[in-house]
Structure 1
Amino acid sequence: MSKELTNEQGTEHEADQLIALLDAVDRLPGAAELRSRSYELLVIAPGATAVDVGCGAGRAVAELTEAGVKTVGVDPDERMIEVARRRWPEADFRTAGAYELPFADSTMDGYRADKVFHELAEPERALDEARRVLAPDGRIVLVGQDWDTFVIDSDDPALTRTIVHARADLVPGPRTARRYRNLLLAAGFEAVTVEVHTGVFTGPVMLPMLVGLAEGACAAGAVNRAQADEWIAEQRARAEVDRIFLALPMFVAAATAQR
Protein backbone atom coordinates (compact mmCIF):
# COMPACT_ATOMS: atom_id res chain seq x y z
CA MET A 1 0.00 0.00 0.00
CA SER A 2 1.41 3.39 -0.97
CA LYS A 3 2.24 6.04 1.61
CA GLU A 4 -0.10 8.45 -0.18
CA LEU A 5 -3.02 6.01 0.05
CA THR A 6 -2.28 5.30 3.69
CA ASN A 7 -2.26 9.01 4.49
CA GLU A 8 -5.48 9.54 2.57
CA GLN A 9 -7.20 6.72 4.44
CA GLY A 10 -5.92 8.08 7.75
CA THR A 11 -7.27 11.54 6.98
CA GLU A 12 -10.63 10.10 5.95
CA HIS A 13 -10.76 8.06 9.17
CA GLU A 14 -10.10 11.19 11.23
CA ALA A 15 -12.87 13.03 9.39
CA ASP A 16 -15.28 10.16 10.01
CA GLN A 17 -14.40 10.21 13.71
CA LEU A 18 -15.09 13.95 13.83
CA ILE A 19 -18.40 13.48 12.03
CA ALA A 20 -19.40 10.82 14.58
CA LEU A 21 -18.49 13.22 17.40
CA LEU A 22 -20.46 16.07 15.83
CA ASP A 23 -23.46 13.76 15.39
CA ALA A 24 -23.24 12.83 19.07
CA VAL A 25 -23.06 16.51 20.05
CA ASP A 26 -26.11 17.25 17.90
CA ARG A 27 -28.06 14.66 19.92
CA LEU A 28 -27.15 16.13 23.32
CA PRO A 29 -29.90 17.76 25.40
CA GLY A 30 -30.30 21.38 24.38
CA ALA A 31 -28.37 21.09 21.11
CA ALA A 32 -31.42 21.49 18.87
CA GLU A 33 -32.61 24.47 20.92
CA LEU A 34 -29.20 26.13 20.63
CA ARG A 35 -29.21 25.70 16.86
CA SER A 36 -32.73 27.15 16.71
CA ARG A 37 -31.62 30.14 18.75
CA SER A 38 -28.75 30.77 16.34
CA TYR A 39 -31.23 30.77 13.44
CA GLU A 40 -33.45 33.26 15.29
CA LEU A 41 -30.51 35.59 15.82
CA LEU A 42 -29.79 35.60 12.09
CA VAL A 43 -33.12 37.41 11.68
CA ILE A 44 -33.50 36.48 8.04
CA ALA A 45 -36.72 35.62 6.26
CA PRO A 46 -37.48 32.85 3.76
CA GLY A 47 -35.89 33.67 0.43
CA ALA A 48 -32.88 35.35 2.02
CA THR A 49 -29.35 34.05 1.50
CA ALA A 50 -27.00 32.67 4.16
CA VAL A 51 -23.72 30.82 4.52
CA ASP A 52 -22.94 28.28 7.22
CA VAL A 53 -19.15 28.33 7.64
CA GLY A 54 -17.55 25.10 8.83
CA CYS A 55 -20.81 23.32 8.11
CA GLY A 56 -19.51 19.84 8.89
CA ALA A 57 -22.01 17.15 7.94
CA GLY A 58 -24.59 19.80 7.08
CA ARG A 59 -27.43 19.55 9.59
CA ALA A 60 -27.78 23.33 10.09
CA VAL A 61 -27.70 23.92 6.34
CA ALA A 62 -30.50 21.39 5.87
CA GLU A 63 -32.59 22.95 8.66
CA LEU A 64 -32.17 26.49 7.32
CA THR A 65 -32.90 25.33 3.78
CA GLU A 66 -36.07 23.61 5.00
CA ALA A 67 -37.09 26.94 6.56
CA GLY A 68 -36.83 28.58 3.14
CA VAL A 69 -33.45 30.28 3.56
CA LYS A 70 -31.14 29.89 0.55
CA THR A 71 -28.23 28.48 2.51
CA VAL A 72 -24.80 27.39 1.32
CA GLY A 73 -22.66 25.21 3.58
CA VAL A 74 -18.89 25.53 3.25
CA ASP A 75 -16.19 23.42 4.88
CA PRO A 76 -12.51 22.98 4.00
CA ASP A 77 -12.71 19.22 4.58
CA GLU A 78 -13.73 17.44 1.38
CA ARG A 79 -14.83 14.37 3.34
CA MET A 80 -17.23 16.53 5.36
CA ILE A 81 -18.71 17.97 2.17
CA GLU A 82 -19.00 14.48 0.66
CA VAL A 83 -20.97 13.26 3.68
CA ALA A 84 -23.11 16.40 3.79
CA ARG A 85 -24.06 16.05 0.13
CA ARG A 86 -24.97 12.41 0.64
CA ARG A 87 -27.12 13.16 3.67
CA TRP A 88 -28.81 16.27 2.32
CA PRO A 89 -28.82 16.00 -1.51
CA GLU A 90 -31.18 18.95 -1.93
CA ALA A 91 -28.88 21.37 -0.09
CA ASP A 92 -25.93 23.38 -1.44
CA PHE A 93 -22.46 22.45 -0.14
CA ARG A 94 -19.06 23.68 -1.30
CA THR A 95 -15.47 23.04 -0.29
CA ALA A 96 -14.02 26.27 1.11
CA GLY A 97 -12.46 27.73 4.23
CA ALA A 98 -13.41 30.70 6.38
CA TYR A 99 -10.65 32.91 4.97
CA GLU A 100 -11.69 32.65 1.31
CA LEU A 101 -15.42 32.24 0.78
CA PRO A 102 -16.65 31.51 -2.77
CA PHE A 103 -19.11 34.43 -2.93
CA ALA A 104 -19.12 37.89 -4.44
CA ASP A 105 -19.11 40.99 -2.25
CA SER A 106 -22.33 41.87 -0.38
CA THR A 107 -24.26 38.82 -1.56
CA MET A 108 -25.19 37.17 1.76
CA ASP A 109 -27.90 38.20 4.21
CA GLY A 110 -26.63 35.91 6.95
CA TYR A 111 -23.38 34.32 8.13
CA ARG A 112 -23.27 31.56 10.72
CA ALA A 113 -20.30 29.70 12.24
CA ASP A 114 -20.92 27.08 14.93
CA LYS A 115 -17.96 25.63 16.88
CA VAL A 116 -15.58 26.91 14.20
CA PHE A 117 -13.70 30.01 15.31
CA HIS A 118 -11.67 28.24 18.01
CA GLU A 119 -10.07 26.30 15.15
CA LEU A 120 -8.92 29.49 13.40
CA ALA A 121 -5.49 30.95 14.04
CA GLU A 122 -6.65 34.26 12.54
CA PRO A 123 -10.27 34.95 13.53
CA GLU A 124 -9.85 38.59 12.53
CA ARG A 125 -9.15 37.52 8.97
CA ALA A 126 -12.29 35.37 8.94
CA LEU A 127 -14.40 38.29 10.17
CA ASP A 128 -12.99 40.54 7.44
CA GLU A 129 -14.14 37.92 4.95
CA ALA A 130 -17.54 37.75 6.64
CA ARG A 131 -17.93 41.50 6.26
CA ARG A 132 -16.96 41.26 2.61
CA VAL A 133 -19.67 38.75 1.71
CA LEU A 134 -22.41 40.18 3.93
CA ALA A 135 -24.80 42.72 2.49
CA PRO A 136 -25.38 45.97 4.41
CA ASP A 137 -27.45 45.13 7.52
CA GLY A 138 -26.56 41.47 7.06
CA ARG A 139 -26.42 39.40 10.22
CA ILE A 140 -23.60 37.30 11.67
CA VAL A 141 -23.94 34.66 14.41
CA LEU A 142 -21.01 32.89 16.08
CA VAL A 143 -21.47 29.92 18.40
CA GLY A 144 -18.72 28.25 20.38
CA GLN A 145 -17.24 27.12 23.67
CA ASP A 146 -14.41 28.63 25.66
CA TRP A 147 -12.00 25.75 26.22
CA ASP A 148 -10.86 27.06 29.60
CA THR A 149 -14.39 27.00 31.07
CA PHE A 150 -15.18 23.29 31.17
CA VAL A 151 -16.62 22.78 34.68
CA ILE A 152 -16.01 19.20 35.81
CA ASP A 153 -16.64 17.63 39.21
CA SER A 154 -13.67 15.56 40.40
CA ASP A 155 -12.05 14.37 43.61
CA ASP A 156 -8.87 16.12 42.43
CA PRO A 157 -9.74 19.69 41.39
CA ALA A 158 -6.10 20.73 40.94
CA LEU A 159 -5.44 17.90 38.50
CA THR A 160 -8.71 18.66 36.75
CA ARG A 161 -7.67 22.29 36.22
CA THR A 162 -4.34 21.13 34.81
CA ILE A 163 -6.07 18.73 32.41
CA VAL A 164 -8.64 21.27 31.21
CA HIS A 165 -6.08 24.02 30.63
CA ALA A 166 -3.56 21.72 28.99
CA ARG A 167 -6.19 20.39 26.59
CA ALA A 168 -7.27 23.96 25.86
CA ASP A 169 -3.76 24.89 24.86
CA LEU A 170 -3.88 22.31 22.05
CA VAL A 171 -6.61 24.33 20.33
CA PRO A 172 -5.56 27.18 17.97
CA GLY A 173 -7.94 29.64 19.63
CA PRO A 174 -9.07 28.17 22.96
CA ARG A 175 -10.34 31.50 24.29
CA THR A 176 -11.76 32.96 21.07
CA ALA A 177 -15.37 32.59 22.26
CA ARG A 178 -14.84 35.02 25.13
CA ARG A 179 -13.44 37.44 22.54
CA TYR A 180 -16.43 37.29 20.20
CA ARG A 181 -17.81 40.69 21.20
CA ASN A 182 -14.53 42.56 20.95
CA LEU A 183 -13.56 40.79 17.73
CA LEU A 184 -16.87 41.74 16.12
CA LEU A 185 -16.60 45.35 17.27
CA ALA A 186 -13.03 45.59 16.02
CA ALA A 187 -14.13 44.23 12.65
CA GLY A 188 -16.70 47.00 12.31
CA PHE A 189 -19.90 45.14 13.17
CA GLU A 190 -22.69 46.90 15.04
CA ALA A 191 -25.39 46.01 17.59
CA VAL A 192 -23.26 43.23 19.03
CA THR A 193 -24.97 40.95 21.56
CA VAL A 194 -23.64 37.96 23.49
CA GLU A 195 -25.60 35.20 25.18
CA VAL A 196 -24.38 32.26 27.26
CA HIS A 197 -26.23 28.95 27.14
CA THR A 198 -24.83 26.47 29.65
CA GLY A 199 -25.38 22.78 29.14
CA VAL A 200 -25.26 20.55 32.22
CA PHE A 201 -24.43 16.92 31.50
CA THR A 202 -24.61 14.14 34.05
CA GLY A 203 -24.90 11.00 31.95
CA PRO A 204 -22.26 8.64 30.57
CA VAL A 205 -22.66 10.07 27.06
CA MET A 206 -20.02 12.70 27.94
CA LEU A 207 -17.47 10.16 29.19
CA PRO A 208 -15.64 9.97 25.82
CA MET A 209 -15.19 13.76 25.89
CA LEU A 210 -13.78 13.60 29.41
CA VAL A 211 -11.42 10.79 28.44
CA GLY A 212 -10.33 12.86 25.43
CA LEU A 213 -9.48 15.81 27.67
CA ALA A 214 -7.19 13.68 29.81
CA GLU A 215 -5.59 11.95 26.85
CA GLY A 216 -4.88 15.31 25.22
CA ALA A 217 -3.29 16.65 28.39
CA CYS A 218 -1.18 13.51 28.70
CA ALA A 219 -0.07 13.71 25.07
CA ALA A 220 0.95 17.33 25.67
CA GLY A 221 3.08 16.30 28.64
CA ALA A 222 1.07 18.34 31.14
CA VAL A 223 0.22 15.23 33.16
CA ASN A 224 1.90 11.84 33.26
CA ARG A 225 0.34 8.56 32.22
CA ALA A 226 -0.45 7.52 35.78
CA GLN A 227 -2.21 10.82 36.51
CA ALA A 228 -4.27 10.60 33.33
CA ASP A 229 -5.24 6.99 34.03
CA GLU A 230 -6.22 7.80 37.61
CA TRP A 231 -8.39 10.72 36.51
CA ILE A 232 -10.02 8.70 33.73
CA ALA A 233 -10.70 5.84 36.15
CA GLU A 234 -12.44 8.23 38.52
CA GLN A 235 -14.66 9.58 35.75
CA ARG A 236 -15.48 6.05 34.58
CA ALA A 237 -16.44 5.13 38.14
CA ARG A 238 -18.61 8.23 38.34
CA ALA A 239 -20.33 7.25 35.08
CA GLU A 240 -21.18 3.81 36.48
CA VAL A 241 -23.06 5.32 39.45
CA ASP A 242 -24.54 8.38 37.69
CA ARG A 243 -22.18 10.90 39.28
CA ILE A 244 -20.61 12.61 36.27
CA PHE A 245 -21.01 16.38 36.27
CA LEU A 246 -19.92 18.54 33.35
CA ALA A 247 -21.14 22.09 32.74
CA LEU A 248 -20.23 23.58 29.39
CA PRO A 249 -21.02 27.24 28.63
CA MET A 250 -21.70 27.98 24.97
CA PHE A 251 -21.26 31.58 23.84
CA VAL A 252 -23.58 32.92 21.15
CA ALA A 253 -22.67 36.27 19.64
CA ALA A 254 -24.68 38.13 17.04
CA ALA A 255 -24.11 41.41 15.20
CA THR A 256 -25.10 43.44 12.17
CA ALA A 257 -22.90 44.48 9.27
CA GLN A 258 -22.64 48.22 8.74
CA ARG A 259 -24.68 49.86 6.03
Structure 2
Amino acid sequence: MDRNQTTGRTSEETDALIALLDVGDGMPGAAELRARSYDLLDLAPGTAVVDVGCGSGRAVAEMAARGARAVGVDPDERMIAVAAGRRPDGEFRVADAYALPFADGTLRGYRAEKVFHILDDPARAIGEARRVLAPGGRLVLVGQDWDTFVIDSGDAALTRRIVHARADLVTAPRVVRRSPGLLLDAGFTDVTAEARTVVFTDATMLPLLADLAGKACAAGAISDAQAEGWLAEQRERGRRGRLFLAFPLFVTAATRP
Protein backbone atom coordinates (compact mmCIF):
# COMPACT_ATOMS: atom_id res chain seq x y z
CA MET A 1 0.00 0.00 0.00
CA ASP A 2 1.63 3.27 -1.16
CA ARG A 3 2.17 6.00 1.42
CA ASN A 4 2.84 9.66 0.89
CA GLN A 5 6.48 10.16 1.92
CA THR A 6 5.75 13.53 3.56
CA THR A 7 2.49 12.83 5.38
CA GLY A 8 2.87 9.07 5.89
CA ARG A 9 -0.75 8.58 4.79
CA THR A 10 -2.13 6.13 2.26
CA SER A 11 -4.71 7.30 -0.29
CA GLU A 12 -7.39 5.52 1.75
CA GLU A 13 -6.31 7.35 4.90
CA THR A 14 -6.36 10.65 3.02
CA ASP A 15 -9.90 9.94 1.80
CA ALA A 16 -10.96 9.20 5.38
CA LEU A 17 -9.37 12.49 6.50
CA ILE A 18 -11.21 14.37 3.76
CA ALA A 19 -14.50 12.88 4.96
CA LEU A 20 -13.66 13.99 8.50
CA LEU A 21 -12.77 17.49 7.30
CA ASP A 22 -16.07 17.68 5.44
CA VAL A 23 -17.89 16.89 8.69
CA GLY A 24 -15.87 19.56 10.49
CA ASP A 25 -16.62 22.13 7.79
CA GLY A 26 -20.33 21.55 8.35
CA MET A 27 -20.26 21.83 12.15
CA PRO A 28 -22.23 24.63 13.82
CA GLY A 29 -20.21 27.82 13.68
CA ALA A 30 -17.61 26.48 11.23
CA ALA A 31 -18.61 28.79 8.37
CA GLU A 32 -18.61 31.77 10.72
CA LEU A 33 -15.17 30.84 12.02
CA ARG A 34 -13.77 30.65 8.51
CA ALA A 35 -15.35 34.01 7.71
CA ARG A 36 -13.72 35.49 10.80
CA SER A 37 -10.33 34.24 9.60
CA TYR A 38 -10.86 35.93 6.22
CA ASP A 39 -11.83 39.19 7.94
CA LEU A 40 -8.64 39.06 10.01
CA LEU A 41 -6.62 38.61 6.82
CA ASP A 42 -7.96 41.97 5.59
CA LEU A 43 -8.75 40.42 2.23
CA ALA A 44 -9.27 42.84 -0.63
CA PRO A 45 -9.76 42.27 -4.36
CA GLY A 46 -6.51 40.96 -5.78
CA THR A 47 -4.98 40.06 -2.40
CA ALA A 48 -2.41 37.27 -2.86
CA VAL A 49 -2.96 34.74 -0.06
CA VAL A 50 -1.92 31.15 0.64
CA ASP A 51 -4.01 28.58 2.51
CA VAL A 52 -1.48 26.17 4.03
CA GLY A 53 -2.80 22.63 4.52
CA CYS A 54 -5.72 23.52 2.29
CA GLY A 55 -7.47 20.15 2.51
CA SER A 56 -10.24 19.84 -0.05
CA GLY A 57 -10.03 23.53 -0.94
CA ARG A 58 -13.13 25.03 0.65
CA ALA A 59 -11.29 28.03 2.14
CA VAL A 60 -9.49 28.70 -1.14
CA ALA A 61 -12.85 28.86 -2.94
CA GLU A 62 -14.38 31.09 -0.28
CA MET A 63 -11.46 33.52 -0.30
CA ALA A 64 -11.51 33.61 -4.11
CA ALA A 65 -15.22 34.48 -3.90
CA ARG A 66 -14.14 37.54 -1.90
CA GLY A 67 -11.85 38.55 -4.74
CA ALA A 68 -8.56 37.27 -3.33
CA ARG A 69 -5.94 35.49 -5.44
CA ALA A 70 -5.90 32.43 -3.22
CA VAL A 71 -3.58 29.46 -3.60
CA GLY A 72 -3.98 26.24 -1.63
CA VAL A 73 -0.97 24.12 -0.72
CA ASP A 74 -0.81 20.69 0.88
CA PRO A 75 1.96 18.07 1.02
CA ASP A 76 -0.49 15.28 0.12
CA GLU A 77 -0.81 14.76 -3.64
CA ARG A 78 -4.10 12.94 -3.18
CA MET A 79 -5.50 15.86 -1.17
CA ILE A 80 -4.45 18.34 -3.86
CA ALA A 81 -6.04 16.16 -6.56
CA VAL A 82 -9.34 16.10 -4.66
CA ALA A 83 -9.21 19.86 -4.08
CA ALA A 84 -8.55 20.53 -7.76
CA GLY A 85 -11.37 18.20 -8.73
CA ARG A 86 -13.85 19.87 -6.41
CA ARG A 87 -12.72 23.44 -7.17
CA PRO A 88 -11.60 23.39 -10.82
CA ASP A 89 -11.25 27.18 -10.88
CA GLY A 90 -8.91 27.17 -7.88
CA GLU A 91 -5.12 27.07 -7.79
CA PHE A 92 -3.54 24.25 -5.79
CA ARG A 93 0.05 23.11 -5.38
CA VAL A 94 1.85 20.27 -3.62
CA ALA A 95 4.04 21.82 -0.92
CA ASP A 96 4.54 21.73 2.83
CA ALA A 97 4.58 24.44 5.48
CA TYR A 98 8.38 24.49 5.63
CA ALA A 99 9.00 25.16 1.93
CA LEU A 100 6.28 27.25 0.32
CA PRO A 101 6.48 27.75 -3.46
CA PHE A 102 6.56 31.55 -3.34
CA ALA A 103 9.32 34.14 -3.59
CA ASP A 104 10.24 36.31 -0.62
CA GLY A 105 7.67 38.96 0.29
CA THR A 106 5.20 38.15 -2.47
CA LEU A 107 2.05 37.41 -0.42
CA ARG A 108 -0.30 39.65 1.53
CA GLY A 109 -1.97 36.85 3.46
CA TYR A 110 -1.09 33.53 5.08
CA ARG A 111 -3.75 31.22 6.53
CA ALA A 112 -3.45 27.78 8.15
CA GLU A 113 -6.37 25.92 9.75
CA LYS A 114 -5.92 22.79 11.87
CA VAL A 115 -2.36 22.43 10.60
CA PHE A 116 0.17 23.55 13.19
CA HIS A 117 -0.66 20.76 15.67
CA ILE A 118 0.76 18.20 13.21
CA LEU A 119 4.04 20.08 12.65
CA ASP A 120 7.19 18.98 14.46
CA ASP A 121 8.69 22.48 14.21
CA PRO A 122 5.99 25.19 14.33
CA ALA A 123 8.59 27.95 14.77
CA ARG A 124 10.19 26.96 11.46
CA ALA A 125 6.80 27.15 9.73
CA ILE A 126 6.23 30.63 11.16
CA GLY A 127 9.64 31.66 9.87
CA GLU A 128 8.62 30.45 6.43
CA ALA A 129 5.37 32.42 6.72
CA ARG A 130 7.36 35.56 7.49
CA ARG A 131 9.60 34.92 4.48
CA VAL A 132 6.74 34.80 1.95
CA LEU A 133 4.71 37.65 3.46
CA ALA A 134 5.26 41.22 2.36
CA PRO A 135 5.62 43.92 5.04
CA GLY A 136 2.14 44.63 6.35
CA GLY A 137 0.96 41.17 5.33
CA ARG A 138 -1.40 39.32 7.63
CA LEU A 139 -1.13 35.83 9.14
CA VAL A 140 -4.05 33.88 10.63
CA LEU A 141 -3.84 30.50 12.36
CA VAL A 142 -6.93 28.47 13.32
CA GLY A 143 -6.63 25.45 15.56
CA GLN A 144 -7.54 23.66 18.75
CA ASP A 145 -5.75 22.89 21.98
CA TRP A 146 -5.98 19.13 22.35
CA ASP A 147 -6.02 19.31 26.14
CA THR A 148 -9.21 21.38 26.21
CA PHE A 149 -11.98 18.91 25.41
CA VAL A 150 -14.73 19.46 27.99
CA ILE A 151 -16.75 16.26 28.43
CA ASP A 152 -19.41 15.45 31.00
CA SER A 153 -18.99 12.00 32.51
CA GLY A 154 -19.68 10.09 35.67
CA ASP A 155 -15.96 9.37 35.92
CA ALA A 156 -14.09 12.68 35.73
CA ALA A 157 -10.67 11.13 36.45
CA LEU A 158 -11.02 8.60 33.64
CA THR A 159 -12.20 11.33 31.27
CA ARG A 160 -9.15 13.46 32.08
CA ARG A 161 -6.91 10.47 31.44
CA ILE A 162 -8.54 9.83 28.07
CA VAL A 163 -8.30 13.46 26.95
CA HIS A 164 -4.67 13.88 28.01
CA ALA A 165 -3.61 10.52 26.59
CA ARG A 166 -5.14 11.42 23.23
CA ALA A 167 -3.47 14.83 23.33
CA ASP A 168 -0.07 13.27 23.96
CA LEU A 169 -0.36 11.36 20.69
CA VAL A 170 -0.51 14.62 18.72
CA THR A 171 2.78 16.06 17.48
CA ALA A 172 2.18 19.56 18.90
CA PRO A 173 -1.06 19.26 20.91
CA ARG A 174 -0.74 22.60 22.74
CA VAL A 175 0.69 24.73 19.95
CA VAL A 176 -2.21 27.21 19.95
CA ARG A 177 -1.28 28.42 23.44
CA ARG A 178 2.32 28.82 22.26
CA SER A 179 1.48 30.53 18.97
CA PRO A 180 1.32 34.16 20.19
CA GLY A 181 4.76 33.77 21.75
CA LEU A 182 6.17 32.11 18.65
CA LEU A 183 4.85 34.92 16.49
CA LEU A 184 6.36 37.56 18.77
CA ASP A 185 9.66 35.68 18.75
CA ALA A 186 9.59 35.78 14.94
CA GLY A 187 9.10 39.55 14.98
CA PHE A 188 5.40 39.68 14.12
CA THR A 189 3.35 42.56 15.51
CA ASP A 190 -0.35 43.19 16.32
CA VAL A 191 -0.60 39.65 17.70
CA THR A 192 -4.12 38.76 18.84
CA ALA A 193 -5.86 35.58 19.94
CA GLU A 194 -9.53 34.74 20.36
CA ALA A 195 -11.60 31.62 20.98
CA ARG A 196 -14.87 30.28 19.60
CA THR A 197 -16.34 27.41 21.61
CA VAL A 198 -18.45 24.69 20.02
CA VAL A 199 -20.89 22.75 22.23
CA PHE A 200 -22.62 19.45 21.38
CA THR A 201 -25.39 17.87 23.45
CA ASP A 202 -26.54 15.04 21.18
CA ALA A 203 -25.02 12.00 19.51
CA THR A 204 -23.45 13.94 16.61
CA MET A 205 -19.91 13.71 17.95
CA LEU A 206 -19.96 10.15 19.25
CA PRO A 207 -17.41 9.15 16.55
CA LEU A 208 -15.02 11.75 17.99
CA LEU A 209 -15.53 10.42 21.50
CA ALA A 210 -14.95 6.88 20.23
CA ASP A 211 -11.71 8.06 18.63
CA LEU A 212 -10.57 9.64 21.91
CA ALA A 213 -11.24 6.47 23.88
CA GLY A 214 -9.82 4.18 21.20
CA LYS A 215 -6.57 6.11 20.89
CA ALA A 216 -6.17 6.32 24.68
CA CYS A 217 -6.72 2.57 24.91
CA ALA A 218 -4.25 1.84 22.11
CA ALA A 219 -1.68 3.99 23.92
CA GLY A 220 -2.09 1.88 27.05
CA ALA A 221 -3.50 4.75 29.14
CA ILE A 222 -6.78 2.90 29.82
CA SER A 223 -7.99 -0.68 29.54
CA ASP A 224 -10.38 -2.11 26.97
CA ALA A 225 -13.01 -2.44 29.68
CA GLN A 226 -12.59 1.19 30.72
CA ALA A 227 -12.88 2.37 27.12
CA GLU A 228 -15.98 0.27 26.50
CA GLY A 229 -17.66 1.39 29.73
CA TRP A 230 -16.89 5.06 29.13
CA LEU A 231 -18.20 4.91 25.57
CA ALA A 232 -21.33 3.07 26.66
CA GLU A 233 -22.07 5.92 29.07
CA GLN A 234 -21.51 8.51 26.33
CA ARG A 235 -23.78 6.63 23.90
CA GLU A 236 -26.52 6.54 26.52
CA ARG A 237 -26.06 10.24 27.17
CA GLY A 238 -26.33 10.88 23.45
CA ARG A 239 -29.48 8.79 23.21
CA ARG A 240 -31.12 10.79 26.00
CA GLY A 241 -29.88 14.19 24.83
CA ARG A 242 -27.68 14.47 27.94
CA LEU A 243 -24.29 14.38 26.27
CA PHE A 244 -22.02 17.40 26.78
CA LEU A 245 -18.93 17.91 24.64
CA ALA A 246 -17.33 21.29 24.14
CA PHE A 247 -14.03 22.46 22.75
CA PRO A 248 -12.71 25.90 21.84
CA LEU A 249 -11.18 26.71 18.48
CA PHE A 250 -8.56 29.45 18.65
CA VAL A 251 -7.86 32.11 16.06
CA THR A 252 -4.45 33.75 16.26
CA ALA A 253 -3.59 36.67 13.99
CA ALA A 254 -0.58 38.88 13.45
CA THR A 255 1.04 41.35 11.07
CA ARG A 256 4.37 40.94 9.33
CA PRO A 257 6.35 44.16 10.05
With the shorter chain as reference, the TM-score category is over 0.9
State the one-letter code of the partner of 1:238: R
**Does the residue aligned with 2:104 lie in a helix, a strand or coil?**
coil
State the one-letter code of the partner of 2:108: D
State the one-letter code of the partner of 2:169: L
Conserved? CA contact 2:202–2:239, under 8 Å: no
1:181 alignment counterpart:
180
**Residue 249 (structure 1) aligned with residue 255 (structure 2):** no
1:3 alignment counterpart:
none
Q: Once the 2 structures are TM-superposed, how far is the Cα of residue 243 of structure 1 from its aligned partner?
A: 1.3
1:121 alignment counterpart:
120
* Cα separation, 2, equivalents of 1:190 and 1:8: 39
Unaligned runs of 5+ in 1: 1-5
Alignment root-mean-square deviation, CA: 1.1
* Within-5 A mapping of 1:33-44: 33-44=32-43
* Cα separation, 2, equivalents of 1:231 and 1:53: 36
Stretch deviating more after TM superposition (110-119 or 200-209) = 200-209
Stretch deviating more after TM superposition (10-19 or 147-156) = 10-19
Identity %, equivalent residues: 64
Q: Once the 2 structures are TM-superposed, how far is the Cα of residue 203 of structure 1 from its aligned partner?
A: 2.2
Q: List structure 1 runs of 4+ shifted beyond 4 angstroms.
A: none
* Cα separation, 2, equivalents of 1:7 and 1:88: 25
Conserved? CA contact 2:43–2:66, under 8 Å: no
**Does the residue aligned with 1:243 lie in a helix, a strand or coil?**
coil
2:140 alignment counterpart:
141
Conserved? CA contact 2:197–2:248, under 8 Å: yes
State the one-letter code of the partner of 1:45: A
**Does the residue aligned with 1:97 lie in a helix, a strand or coil?**
coil
Q: Once the 2 structures are TM-superposed, how far is the Cα of residue 8 of structure 1 from its aligned partner?
A: 4.9
Conserved? CA contact 2:200–2:244, under 8 Å: yes
Q: Once the 2 structures are TM-superposed, how far is the Cα of residue 143 of structure 1 from its aligned partner?
A: 0.5
* Cα separation, 1, equivalents of 2:10 and 2:140: 29
2:199 alignment counterpart:
200
Conserved? CA contact 2:51–2:110, under 8 Å: yes
What is the TM-score with the length of structure 2 in the denominator? Answer: 0.97
Q: Which deviations, in whole Å up to 9, do the C-alpha atoms of 1:227-258 show, x marking residues without a partner?
A: 11111111111111111111111110100001
* Cα separation, 2, equivalents of 1:49 and 1:256: 15
Stretch deviating more after TM superposition (197-206 or 130-139) = 197-206
2:129 alignment counterpart:
130
Q: Once the 2 structures are TM-superposed, how far is the Cα of residue 149 of structure 1 from its aligned partner?
A: 0.5
* Cα separation, 1, equivalents of 2:224 and 2:80: 37
Unaligned runs of 5+ in 2: none
* Cα separation, 2, equivalents of 1:188 and 1:205: 41
Q: Once the 2 structures are TM-superposed, how far is the Cα of residue 44 of structure 1 from its aligned partner?
A: 2.2
State the one-letter code of the partner of 1:94: R
Q: Once the 2 structures are TM-superposed, how far is the Cα of residue 7 of structure 1 from its aligned partner?
A: 3.5
* Cα separation, 2, equivalents of 1:186 and 1:167: 29
Q: How many residues align?
A: 253
Q: Which deviations, in whole Å up to 9, do the C-alpha atoms of 1:156-214 show, x marking residues without a partner?
A: 11000000000000000000011111111011100101111111111211110010000
1:166 alignment counterpart:
165
Q: Which deviations, in whole Å up to 9, do the C-alpha atoms of 1:18-61 show, x marking residues without a partner?
A: 00000001111000000000000001211110000000011000
What is the TM-score with the length of structure 1 in the denominator? Answer: 0.96
State the one-letter code of the partner of 1:23: D
Conserved? CA contact 2:50–2:111, under 8 Å: yes
* Cα separation, 2, equivalents of 1:71 and 1:216: 36
2:18 alignment counterpart:
19
1:221 alignment counterpart:
220
**Does the residue aligned with 1:229 lie in a helix, a strand or coil?**
helix
State the one-letter code of the partner of 1:86: G
